[in-house]
Structure 1
Amino acid sequence: MEMASFTGFIKTLFYIILFYYLFKFLMRIFAPILMQKAVNKMQQKMQEQYRQQQEQQQDRTSQSQQSMPKEKKKVGEYIDYEEIK
């Protein structure tokens, strides 16, 4: 069996620390860019959903207007009287 050397341990520890700080540095640079892209993507999805809802609502109103029979002639206004005792 081969024993791990002290220099190999120090080298490994150095690489771990180096990669940690390198990752931390790169995240400071790229995290805002990635977050902005994610926000833009979500905003586009929400706008598309809003457009689809508006189109569906317009379709429903146009269909209901077409299916409704023409109104009959209005004879007058109806007034509801309350009985006072």
Structure 2
Amino acid sequence: MEMASFAGFVKTLVYIVLFYYLFKFLARIFAPIIMQKAMNKVQQKMHEQAQQQQNYTNHHSQNQNSKTEIPREKKKVGDYVDYEEVD
């Protein structure tokens, strides 16, 4: 079994620190671009949904307006008679 050397440990720590700072640097550059694209995608989806809702509402209201409803007469079943009990 081989023992880990102090130089190997220091080398590993340097790699970890370099990777951390490289990641941090690249995140500062690319994060705003990625966020902007994500916001544009969300905005586009919201716009499409609003357009679909508006089209549905317009189509639905046009169908209601195009149908001329003929008022129907209510069926008269009969007169209401209030019965009183006679002793």
TM-score interval, smaller chain: 0.7 to 0.9
RMSD over aligned Cα, in angstroms? 1.4
1:10 maps to 10
User: Structure 1: which amino acid aligns with 2:67?
Assistant: S
Q: Secondary structure at the match of 2:19?
A: helix
User: Structure 2: which amino acid aligns with 1:14?
Assistant: V
Task: Tell me the CA shift for residue 68 of structure 1.
Answer: 2.9
Task: Tell me the CA shift for residue 69 of structure 1.
Answer: 2.4
1:53 maps to 53
Cα deviations across residues 7-64 of structure 1 (Å, max 9, x unaligned)? 0000000000000000000001000000100110000000000000000001100111
Question: What is the aligned-residue identity percentage?
Answer: 61
Task: Tell me the CA shift for residue 67 of structure 1.
Answer: 1.9
1:38 maps to 38
2:80 maps to none
2:21 maps to 21
User: Structure 1: which amino acid aligns with 2:60?
Assistant: R
TM-score norm. by structure 1 comes to 0.79
**Structure 2 unaligned spans of 5+:** 72-87
Length, aligned pairs only? 71
1:66 maps to 66
TM-score norm. by structure 2 comes to 0.77
State the distance in 1 between where 2:13 and 2:68 align: 78
User: Structure 2: which amino acid aligns with 1:26?
Assistant: L
